[in-house]
Amino acid sequence: MSESAIRASIFPLLILLLVTGMYVGHLLTPSPQVSINETAMVQRIGALESQVSALQSQLNEFQTRNMSVQSLNEIYEAVKGSIVTVSGLLPSTDIFGRVSYTSVLGSGFVVNLTGEPLVVTNYHVVDGIVNGSVTFIDGDAYPFQVVGLDKYSDLAVLRVALAPAERLVPLTIASSSGLRVGDLVIAVGNPYGLESTMTSGIVSQLNRAIQTETAGNFNIAGVIQITAPINPGNSGGPLLDAYGMVVGITTAIITGSQNVGFAISSDTILREFATLVETGTYVHPYLGITGYPLNFATSSALGINQTWGVLIQTVVDDGPAARAGLMGGEQSVTVGGVQILGGGDVILYIDGVKIKSMDDLSSYLETRSPGQTINVTILRGASEKVIPVTLGVRP
């Protein structure tokens, strides 16, 4: 345990002793106006013992957490050997049929979730590349085989069959469900080819939904927003928590932003990994709508009182939503220079979970599977209705 952690653990212990001493002193000092009842005294001492026991339990938990937290340098030294550079060549053909190649560079890391050490990276890092290889921190490089791909979550799983077993040291993956806004996070990767670079920041928001070129018109859901600086080449590297465990995989930035980055959550990796290894792909659920998030300005323009929820714009013909009877908009309204369709159903809840935005909608749907039935609470006109919808397979 570091010196600062020791000081931090002693402080609550001193408070515990001080409070206990003051309370016991108060109990043993009779009031000049009230006599001490022996039975009441025993009850009060028993209550004090329970409070002290609870405080001691909290103190023990506090000390355990601080003993597990590592310094940034300790985390870096522990994980650097498991992080690789993923590189290859991306071929393209011009109008005359001539083939040229562009170098591709990204990051990846070793995990073992199925009994075999494999490398995880982003789909967009390896999509279409040839002569792909992974390079470890000491410079040793080995070719890889693509095991599984999911462009809708920007995930790829690679097998590095020729690498010695002792080189494939897996990182520990924790559930990202325990993350909170403000938690420390650490990104390790190879920005611009600068190998083994570490940056740190905090979780700035959870359950974002982002669009990328690889995912087309669909959102990548359940994404972690971070302030840790990431750049081209970081893609595919691990996002770590204060204990050195993987809670995400860095994937994207907003061009021109100041430290606004995104990472695919570790829960997405945990949910998809076995299927990617077994089948080579992953099937996502499908509702079959386009939507627009309500806000005060939009609601005012539409003349409705509801200021949150997802306003259905269009319903895909013969899709799950259409078969269930959900309705899209008909009247065109321009709000803030954006043309939207009003008059459609407003999605308020799914299975009792509040849906304030498209981020909420996309993130919740990703926790479901094709074939499952969800209960969608909508606002239609002035009335709320609950409509069951059986999810389909994303086309």
Name the residue ranges covered by the structural domains of the chain.
3-69, 78-167, 176-271, 285-393
Low-confidence ranges of the chain (pLDDT < 70): 1-69, 215-216, 256-257
Structure tokens at 378: 């909508």
What is the distance between the alpha carbons of residues 103 and 88, in angstroms, rounded to a whole number?
Answer: 6
As assigned by CATH, the class of the 285-393 domain is mainly beta
What is the distance between the alpha carbons of residues 279 and 287, in angstroms, rounded to a whole number?
Answer: 23
Residues acting as catalytic residues: 124, 154, 235
Considering the entire predicted model, what is its pTM? 0.76
Decide whether 78-167 matches 285-393 in CATH topology: no
pLDDT of 162: 95
DSSP string, 292-361: EE--HHHHHHHT-S--SSEEEEEE-TTSHHHHHT-----EEEEETTEEEEESS-EEEEETTEE--SHHHH
pLDDT digits (tens, 9 = 90+) for 124-155: 999 999 999 999 999 999 999 999 999 999 99
> Is-contact 316 330, C-beta < 8 A?
no
Helix axes 3-28, 38-68, angle to 10 degrees: 180
For tokens 């606004």, what's the residue? 260
pLDDT of 6: 43
pLDDT of 19: 47
Select from 2.40.10.10, 2.70.70.10, 2.60.40.10, 3.50.50.60 the CATH code of 176-271.
2.40.10.10
pLDDT of 253: 77
What is the distance between the alpha carbons of residues 392 and 286, in angstroms, rounded to a whole number?
Answer: 5
pLDDT of 194: 78
> Is-contact 141 133, C-beta < 8 A?
yes
**Residue closest to 348 by CA, chosen among 321, 318, 383, 319:** 383
What is the distance between the alpha carbons of residues 390 and 66, in angstroms, rounded to a whole number?
Answer: 46
What is the distance between the alpha carbons of residues 106 and 156, in angstroms, rounded to a whole number?
Answer: 12
CATH number of the 78-167 domain: 2.40.10.10
CA distances from 149 to 68, 91, 98, 125, 232 (A): 34, 19, 28, 11, 20
pLDDT of 336: 82
pLDDT of 56: 52
pLDDT of 193: 76
Helix (H) or strand (E) holding 101: strand 99-111
